[in-house]
Structure 1
Amino acid sequence: MCYTIALNFEDGVTRFVDCKPGEKILDAAFRNKINLPMDCSDGVCGTCKCRAESGSYDLGDEYIDDALTEDEARGGLVLTCQMVPSSDCVLSVPVTAASCKTGQQTIAATVTRIAPHHDAAVVLELAIDEGATAPGFLPGQYVNIAVPGSGDHRSYSFSTAPGDRDLGFLIKKIPDGLMSNWLARAAAGDRLELTGPMGSFYLREGEGPLLFLAGGTGLAPFLSMLEVLARAGSRRQIHLIYGVTRDLDLVLVDQIAAFTARLPNFTFATVVADPASDHPRKGWVIQHMPEDMLAAGEVDVYLCGPPPMVDAVRHYLDDDGIRPASFHYEKFTPNAPLKASA
């Protein structure tokens, strides 16, 4: 049995390595051709210091205090030259992937389904090549998808769970947008190339309540997170608020509702900003956040949406002096439409 170690580099690139029982992280990385920072490899210099975001491990007692103090160890810092995992782990590496002579992984995939949702969004489903390893990523992360024939790419979060051979994405329709134009003429069987995964917005381990705040197609990473939680049999209290501008922007609500049967403590609410809407909950996400969850100070808040929504939530929490147990957010900006050639 091997443990899966996710290495998150400071430039957003994530690489996954397998670590054998009893093997040190540094050795596992080198075996996978990733040169993590190091100098002595004996627990003396502290050059290989990283932060363990999740997982269980043993640091032994063969390092000196100058390399890693007790306070640092209690705070989650580790020496990869001494760290021996006893579970899957996530490590934050304080250097770029390029400096470790590693880069983004490339995934080749085939389009299996394109499902438009009015003029709001498109669900894109892909299957990775036969014999290829299912892509590793953390629930909430994204990849860059090369738009065929353009020499350019667009970034989208996975809406499916890590390890699945079938990949899903929820893509906002942009009038005359690069990816939107390609999707309008694409068909099952077309080929795409993905690079990644990337991003520091991903689900962390924990037992406390979760508040998910999604704006528009920012729903995608939460579908991935919910699927992971459902498969793990999570009993955490989870509440999702899904805010959109118009009624037609509400997509995949049936898919969200299906999680209520798989997660015993999951609830959700949809919110429409358009004042002319007949939707029962109108306004902005900040007007519908559960005060009881926030007041206790034990909730982990995850937020993904357009910049105005993200900024509004951040200001709301700051202005009201609300301090969640943790707060993770990701802004996304719709890709600009194509410019007419001169």
Structure 2
Amino acid sequence: MSSYRIALNFEDGVTRIIDCGAKEKVLDAAFRNRINLPMDCSDGVCGTCKCRAESGLYDLGDDYIDDALSSDEAGAGMVLTCQMVPQSDCVIAVPVASTACKTGTASFTGKVAGLSDLGGAAFELVLEAPANAPAFLPGQYVNIGVPGSGQHRSYSFSSPSGASRMSFLIKNVPGGLMSNWLAGASEGATLELTGPLGSFYLRPVKRPVLMLAGGTGLAPFLSMLEELAQQGLDQPVHLIYGVTRDQDLVLVERLQALADRLPGFSFTTCVADPATTHARQGYVTQHMPAAVLHDGNVDVYLCGPPPMVEAVQKHFQATGMQPASFYYEKFASSQPAVASASAAAAAAAAV
């Protein structure tokens, strides 16, 4: 392979994905892309360029000194970008803000190519991906400007990276700024986007995975599952998709199509409304059998509103379940357009 994709995740949530030659050092590739990663000596002596490789294969050579990178640090995934030569696609956590590296979020536009009203509960927005659309990690989000408002809203991609069209699952909020615009939008309308952003993204699948989606928090999992369908899968992945009302349960047919394409993937759905006619009433924590927890040998991904995230955390604490990894993203619906509150807030963390 002549080059590899290197995702640089900065501590302010910005991600830049660059190409790095098969024999090129990551620091050199970053500079070639006008990204000034931290550095001083560039000879493996000072340790200034130290970062953490979160995934991928690479060679560090033997030209650096222990004071710059100890064997314990190297064993824990720390790297010197001035010495690191990739042997596969890699994800690197950079311990500084993107602005300190003279880079930042990419800005681009997308034209509306499709818009579906999903039973009044949500919209599915599809945009044509322009030639300059940046690559992203499955699970990340972008900020989308609401035309004529000077404001933006944050939405996770539901499509895989590199596709000719970008899709988003957007909750229909009565009186919401974006919801109001979408209700009257037409094909060909242009939207301004910035990103990608976020530290909630799919890591290499090395053990069983449990995905927990609340409402339109399903979106990033659709992107992750599409990525897994392209890569192949040798570990079980189970998704529990919980909503408040029957009509909020959308795109279930797409999940079934993914289950048909992806051996090892399964899903269940549940509805919290006591008056539901759905087969499984209750919250995701009530439909989480021991079999999908694998005695803690599981990576858990959770995307939903803050009360759901807190409920799952409390459930794990109460049951003594400690997953191998726990990644989550909270989101809150935006306020009505007449209010002065800001756009939907998104926060991500990993423990």
Would the TM-score normalized by the shorter structure come out above 0.5? yes
Aligned to 1:41: 42
Amino acid of the structure 2 residue aligned with 1:66: D
Would you say 1:230 and 2:233 are equivalent positions? no
2:159 aligned partner: 160
SS in structure 2 opposite 1:26?
helix
Partner of 1:300: 299
Aligned residue pairs, count: 339
Q: Is the 8 A contact 2:108 2:132 kept in 1?
A: no
Q: For residues 315 and 296 of structure 2, what CA distance do their matches in structure 1 show?
A: 15
Paired letter, 2:278: H
Partner-residue secondary structure (3-state), 2:296:
coil
Name the structure 1 match of 2:346: none
What does the per-residue CA deviation read over 1:93-138, in whole Å, with 9 as the maximum and x for residues that have no partner?
0000001000101121110111011221000000023xx1443000
Structure 1: which amino acid aligns with 2:245? R
**What is residue 280 of structure 2 aligned with on the other side?**
281
Quote the Cα distance in structure 2 between the aligned partners of 1:157 and 1:222. Answer: 9
Indicate whether 1:144 and 2:143 are aligned: yes
Counterparts of residues 146-295 of structure 1 (less than 5 Å): 146-295=145-294
Structure 2 letter corresponding to 1:62: D
Aligned mates of 1:340, 1:194 — CA distance in 2:
23
Shift of 1:295: 4.5
Does the C-alpha gap of structure 1 residues 229 and 295 become closer, same or farther in structure 2, counting only changes over 3 Å?
Answer: closer
Kindly report the root-mean-square deviation, in angstroms, between the aligned alpha carbons of the 2 structures.
1.1
Corresponding position of 1:111: 112
Question: Is contact 1:134–1:164 with CA below 8 Å preserved after alignment?
Answer: no
Q: Deviations over 1:165-210 (max 9, x none)?
A: 2000000011111100110111000001111000000000023111
Stretches of 4+ aligned residues off by more than 3 angstroms: none
Distance, in Å, in 1 between the alignment partners of 2:170 and 2:177 is 12
- Change in Cα spacing, 1:340 to 1:289, as seen in structure 2 (3 Å) is closer
Are positions 1:65 and 2:66 aligned together? Answer: yes
SS in 1 for 2:31: helix
Cα shift at 1:21: 1.6
- Counterpart of 1:296 in 2: which secondary structure? helix
How far is 1:294 from its partner? 1.7
Give the whole-Å Cα distance in 2 for the aligned partners of 1:290 and 1:230: 25
Distance 2:265 2:60 in 1: 37
1:296 deviates by: 2.1
Q: Is the 8 A contact 1:161 1:227 kept in 2?
A: yes
CA contact (8 A) 1:238 1:265 kept: yes
Report the Cα distance in structure 2 between the residues aligned to 1:61 and 1:278, rounded to whole angstroms. Answer: 64
Aligned-pair CA distance for 1:287: 0.7
Q: What is the rounded CA distance, in whole Å, between the counterparts of 1:295 and 1:168 in structure 2?
A: 33
- 2:118/2:250 contact within 8 Å kept: yes
Kept after mapping to 1: 8 A contact 2:238/2:292: no
Give the SS at the match of 1:43: coil
Shift of 1:340: 6.0
Residue 20 (structure 2) pairs with residue 19 (structure 1):
yes
1:56 offset after TM fit, Å?
A: 0.2
Q: CA deviation at 1:315?
A: 1.1
> Partner of 1:330: helix, strand, or coil?
strand
1:55 paired residue number: 56
Deviation of residue 339 (structure 1)?
Answer: 2.1
Deviations 1:206-252 (A, max 9, x none): 23111000000000000000000011121320110000000000000
Corresponding residue for 2:349?
A: none
Percent of aligned positions with the same letter in both sequences?
64
Q: Which runs of 5+ in 1 are unaligned?
A: none
TM score, norm. by length of structure 2: 0.95
Which amino acid in the other structure matches residue 15 of structure 1? R
Structure-2 separation of matches of 1:67 and 1:297: 35
Please state whether the residue corresponding to 1:286 is helix, strand or coil: helix
Q: CA–CA distance in 2 between the matches of 1:295 and 1:117?
A: 35
Length-normalised TM-score, structure 1? 0.97
- Deviations 1:300-319 (Å, cap 9, x if unpaired)? 10000000000100111122
- Mapped partners of 2:211, 2:16: distance in 1: 26
